[in-house]
Amino acid sequence: MLGRLHLIRHGEVLNPDRLVYADLAGFHLGERGRAEAAAIAAYLAAEPIEVIAVSPLERAVESAAPLAARLGLPLLIDDRLTEWRLLNRWAGVVWEDLAVRFPGEVEAYLTHAADLAFSPESLDAVATRLAAVVDDLGRAHPHGVAAVVSHQDPIQALRLALTGRPLADLPIDKPRHGAVLTLEAGEPWTETSRWHPPAPV
């Protein structure tokens, strides 16, 4: 088992059309997102991180790159850290149009995300695949420190699963763009700190 885990949500994406980008290609960090990625690297620069595992999606890789460069580590791309596949159902649709295109689905997502019959992937499956990544990292780096860079709902699902909270708590206190949640190993894990990049001036 790892000793410490930093869960990192990617930085803000350039998305002027307010599309659900899910796992669509071509969605990169915007100016603020790049600043958030640089701030993450500065924040974690003194941490003895041994491995950085990252979602294959561009916004996650771009968020992890400054940290990897600062620490002199390669990025471990892991498909299991990708976005919740629920969003693939809505991909390419403007957020404000979802209520018309998919009646009732956004409301269900906001109120009982752990039980969505229409989702191609359950929230429990998301938590399970991310937890498997953490288990693998722990076997490769026992008692070590790892960083995992992923997306809001997957990070939140993993956070809940590791700390022994119900997945029904998904909407509560979600990590913002660029957030770093630090967990210490145990049964369950303990969240010891939560950091956000400074707001732009």
Domain count, the chain: 1
Inform me whether the pLDDT recorded for 201 exceeds 90.
Answer: no
Domain membership flag for residue 200:
no
Is the CB of residue 195 less than 8 Å from the CB of residue 17? no
Tens digits of residue pLDDT in 96-153: 999 999 999 999 999 999 999 999 999 999 999 999 999 999 999 999 999 999 999 9
Residue 33: give its domain's CATH number.
3.40.50.1240
Residues 6+ apart with CB under 8 A from 103: none
Tens digits of residue pLDDT in 39-55: 999 999 999 999 999 99
Domain membership flag for residue 201:
no
Domain membership flag for residue 87:
yes
Cα separations (Å) of 63 from 41, 52, 95, 117, 120?
Answer: 9, 11, 23, 32, 27
Confirm whether pTM is higher than 0.95: yes
With helix as H, strand as E and coil as C, how does 61-107 read?
Answer: HHHHHHHHHHHCCCEEECHHHCCCCHHHHHCCCEHHHHHHHCCCHHH
Q: Tell me the H-state helices in the chain.
A: 31-43, 58-71, 86-90, 98-101, 105-111, 123-140, 152-162
